[in-house]
A and B are shown apart, each in its own frame.
Chain A
Amino acid sequence: MKPSLKQDYSFSGFWFSSVAAVFVLLALATLPAIVRLPVQVSLVCILPVLLHLIPRGKWRKVTTIGLLVMLVATIVISFDSWFGGDAIMAFICGLLWLKSSEMAGARDSWLLMLAVCIVTALNALFGISLWQMLHLLVVVWLLLLNVMILQSSDAKRAIGMLVRRSAFYFSISLPFAAILFFMLPRVPGPLWDVGIAMGMPVKMILEKTRTPAISGTLEVGQVSKLQKSDAPVLIAEFEGTIPSKSRLYWRGAVFWDYDGERWQLAEGWDRRRNIMHNALKGKQAFQSAITNGEDMVSYKVRVSPHDGHWLYGLDAPFKTAPETVLSKNYQLLSIRPLSREFEYEMKSYLKYQGTQPLLESQKDRALNIPDNTNPRITTLGQRIATENVSVDDRIAAATRWYYEAGLQHSLLNNIDVGPNNLDTFLFDEKFGGSEYLAGSFVMLMRAAGIPARLVTGYRGGNVIALTNFIVVKQGHAHAWLEVWTGNSGWSRIDPMDVVSTATVPAQKKPETAPQTEQQKQKNTQITKKKKDKKETSSLCEGEWFCSWLQNIEMWVVKFDAKKQLDTLDSIGLMRGTVGRMLLMTGVTIFLLMVFYMLMSELLKRRREDPLQLSYQRFATEMGKRGCEQGIGECPSVYCQRLSEQFPAHKDAIGTIICAYLDVQYGKKEENKLFTIMVKRFLAMTTGR
């Protein structure tokens, strides 16, 4: 229901202040875009300001249309596509400035102000920084000031009060915002992830974004290419809690053979006959392949179609589903190529020992180093083998070497494909994708006499908040390796974690190479913190400021769904469903409102004049008894009327009114006495 409050818009002062405030708001909101956009586009965007110099009428309309055409033309010339972020932003900014020139009422002002919110939100998508946060806060405060100016009937005279009040209201709205920010359930985007978790076909999402997955051959740089894609690969729904993302290794192709440039699967591996031949068959085979399995998880997987045989199971799967087989390399494969979305139920042991014996032929393949390739790795491996006797020591020594080498994981690399590319990566460039890390480690292990193989697949996934769904995307593409440790069978090593801990001081190095999951997580956290510190350190000088910036980074910029749940957990609010979290948010908001109400009441009581309160009480009571004080009636006149109406209390009434006038205009210290007099009088005369 709209209040039909009609305001006097003709008041020039009102319009002066209102229009000026909207302009300031618009200028500030579009400032980041204007600064970022090409100069010619920025100029055209703010050109409509000049329209105010032209009197309203035909000529202004014609000029507006001309400017609109100029805006469109400039955008077409300056940007490759209309749908780019900058092009859209430029168009919106230009339109808003054009609209501001024909603002003709409160409705137009509202439209502009709400559009300013959208512009501010879009600006924030171009990058996150503390300045942007500060900008956003100032824009919201200005927005409130504008809104209050619109509501005020005399904004020009009350502008000072409006500025103060808007600042005050803005400051007391911050706790509401903070509660919502920290407690509202978060859904990790993009939003179509929610759609696919709820049953939208994965193929539909993939139609335009299909990226070739790893097939029979793995070239260096291929995993990095995949990681740049956002296309979903699979959606898994877990029974119970989703394990830590760092433990989720979605096992795909296992490569034994390396020719110096690329990893290859055996010829004809994807023929149905070969697939069936290499599959584990029967309960006995499963039991002998994987022993001492721990941390079992059950889940349901939907895989997007890719016209290949790959299916993915968490390392290591130990169950098959209809139309699927589990190979001797623990690869889950489909009997037929996947031409449509495929769904299966699976169980996996996150911790296990594979005790299948390593055949001589397999051992040869797992120790093979192509001739005339990567001599420096071979030398290093041989040195490690000479200096360390046991397999564990060799692995530990190699891991330590990776720590100290200062290697960094990167999607970008400048390494040319060639027979020595792993040498180049490990000793020269030191930047590369996970396949470089894993591939070089495999070669190092082989050179040190330890059988090793490369495993590809995906690691982690995007957890859809407060659900048991996880979406794995091409961006999660990963490569790791397995080494043969004798009695324990194949053991996983992920050099990514080793690289992640490269910045940890030498004395904190782990003694054994294969890290436990807890260690890995800890190391990852340390590295993250160090990275955060590195990012913020460029912005600040003083330590306290750095620390403050880091806190802002940690609690605002990087506050994600996981951190939210952990925080709620740590303050004693248990994890719950979306409904429960919403309820908690609602209750907290309600409590904050109650707190504000109490504070307001407290302040009100402080502001009240006890003398006026007592007199008000006296007048109200006498009004109830039939003699109400008139509007603006002088107390002495009122006293006369009261005395006439209540002759029995003439003296008492006279004393009270005289005392009131005395205190009001003279002896302030008798305030309490007056209150007592009123109370006594009312008590004595009640019911008479």
Chain B
Amino acid sequence: MNMVGSNLRLALTPEGIGWLLVSLVAFLLATNYNNNVVFMLACLLLGVWLLAAWLTLKNLSGLTCKQWRIEPCFAGGDSDFQLLLEAAEGREHVELGCKVVGQKDKQKTRLMQLNSGERQWLTLTLTMEKRGWFVPKAASVVSSWPFGLWCASMEAPEVPSCLVYPKPNGTQSLPDTHQLDADEQSLDDLSGVRAYQTGDNTRRMDWKSMARTDQILIKTFEGHERQKTTWLNDKNVRVSTFEEKIEQLTRWVVECDALGAHYGIRIGAETLLPGSGREHHVEGLRLLALAKQER
């Protein structure tokens, strides 16, 4: 049974149906035995059932859903979908949860309470199975408080899609840097010198200039630098399926990032030029999350 309000819905839960059936049984017993005490019990149960409908609906009314906050996650892991809720002045909302249509067994919500005029993030944790874009269907804020006989739900704003990275998996260790010579470019001409910065390669120090100027200077070259770059190439992955290759590459990306290595990715025709750091890591994972097998 659904009752549609403005954007509030009220539905009977299985417990509510059970409660109604018990009330009905009590009515039948009362009628059959002309027993007013049993009739009173039946009326009480039915009265509670009716009251519960209003209380459950009231628990959600006055609530405002503001915005979503979502973080990407790895396949097989949990992603927190957070919805900002705001309670109206003078209202309090108890045991609020959230759910997404079509994810019955894959979602978990942390019930929360919202006091008058308060704003809080409501977290819905979804277990992601596949890499790529996860496009959730409609989401709603739900509550079956106080008796669990009815479930009120309120439509939440459209849930943004979530990028699911491939699951880091595989047994191969990181590829050997020396194997990647074929991919290296020749050095270009010296373009000049600059002041030393923390992290610069000490082998490129310009000792002569340093002796002249008493400053630590570093030589700079035009074009790509010849440095130890790890190329993560799908051709180097020794597994049978494309998905396993992706998972192995993801593991390498995670390991490279943890080591602070300079790495590039090549998968099929797609290439991510070598780099390092947070943004490069995210770019790499994104490339792998959306990679498609060539036919």
**Chain B, Cβ-Cβ closest to A191:** B32
> Which of B106-114, B193-201, B207-215, B226-234 lies at the interface?
B106-114
Q: In the bound complex, how far is the Cα of B55 from the Cα of A612, in angstroms?
A: 26
Chain A residues within an 8 Å CB radius of B35: 124-125, 128
A122 at the interface (CB under 8 A from B): yes
User: B104–A4 contact, CB under 8 A?
Assistant: yes
Whether the Cβ atoms of B37 and A136 lie closer than 8 Å is yes
- Chain A residues in 8 Å Cβ range of B31: 186-189, 191
How many A-B contacts are there with CB distance less than 8 Å? Answer: 179
Q: 1/0 contact trace for A106-131 toward B, CB 8 Å?
A: 00001000100110111011001000
Chain A, residues 138-160, CB within 8 Å of chain B (1/0): the string is: 00100010011011110000000
Give the contacting residue for B22; candidates A5, A114, A178; CB below 8 A. A114
For B139, list chain A residues within 8 Å (CB). none
A3 touches B89 (CB 8 A): no
Say yes or no: B89 contacts A124, CB within 8 Å: no
Interface string of A167-182 (1 = CB under 8 A from B): 0011011111111110
A560–B42 alpha-carbon span in the complex (Å): 15
Residues of chain B with a CB closer than 8 A to A612's CB: 89, 117
**Partner among B90, B104, B151 whose Cβ is within 8 Å of the Cβ of A607:** B90
A558 within 8 A of B: yes
Contact A121 B43 (CB under 8 A): no
Of the residues A3, A121, A177, contact of B13 by C-beta under 8 Å? A3
The one of A150, A189, A559 in contact with B32, judged by C-beta atoms closer than 8 angstroms, is A189
A2 on the B face (CB < 8 A): yes
Give A192's nearest chain B residue, CB to CB: B32
Interchain nearest-CB distance for B282 vs A (Å)? 25
The answer to whether B91 and A5 have CB atoms under 8 Å apart is: no
Residue numbers in A under 8 Å from B38 (CB-CB): 121, 124-125
6 smallest CB-CB distances across A and B, nearest first, come from: A176-B47, A177-B47, A604-B90, A180-B43, A124-B37, A608-B90
Q: Do A181 and B40 form a contact, CB below 8 Å, given A117-B26, A176-B47, A560-B34?
A: yes
Cα A609 to Cα B42 with chains together (Å): 41
Which A residues touch B19, using CB under 8 A?
Answer: 114
Chain B stretch 225-271: residues in CB contact (< 8 A) with chain A: none
Interface flags for B21-61 (1: CB within 8 Å of A; 0: not) read 01001101111111111111111111110110011001000
Q: Which residues of A contact B34 (CB under 8 A)?
A: 188-190, 560
A559 to B35, CA, bound (A): 10
Determine the chain A residues whose CB is within 8 A of the CB of B13 once the complex forms.
Answer: 2-3
Q: Is residue B148 contacting chain A, with contact meaning CB distance below 8 A?
A: yes
How far does the Cβ of B218 sit from chain A's closest Cβ, in whole Å? 42
B90→A605 contact, CB < 8 A: yes
Residues 129-152 of B contacting A (Cβ, < 8 Å): 142-149, 151
> Cβ of B116 < 8 Å from any Cβ of A?
yes
* Residues A623-639 near B (CB distance < 8 A): 631-632
Chain B hits for A7, CB < 8 A: 111
Contact across chains for A2 and B14 when beta carbons are under 8 A apart:
yes
Does any Cβ of B come within 8 Å of A132's Cβ? yes
**Interface band, chain B:** 35 or more
- Any B CB within 8 A of the CB of A597: yes
Most buried by B among A124, A181, A186: A124
Whose C-beta in chain B lies nearest to the C-beta of A166?
B146
Complex CA distance for A555 and B44, rounded to whole angstroms: 16
Smallest CB–CB gap between B211 and chain A, Å?
53
> Of A5, A181, A607, which one neighbours B116 at CB under 8 angstroms?
A607
Contact (Cβ within 8 A) B41 A153: no
Q: Which of chain A's residues have a CB closer than 8 A to the CB of B41?
A: 117, 120-121, 124, 136, 140
- CB-defined contacts of A150 to chain B, threshold 8 Å: 148
Contact A173 to B29, CB < 8 A, known contacts A1-B11, A3-B151, A144-B147: no
Q: Report Cα–Cα, A61/B91, bound state, in Å.
A: 48
Query: Given the complex, which residues of A lie within 8 Å of B22, measured CB to CB?
Result: 114, 117-118
**Given A3-B13, A176-B47, are A132 and B97 neighbors across the interface (CB < 8 Å)?**
no
> Which residues of the other chain, B, contact A593 by a CB distance below 8 angstroms?
50, 54
Query: CB of A54 within 8 A of chain B?
Result: no
B4-26 contacts to A, CB under 8 A, are: 11, 13-15, 18-19, 22, 25-26
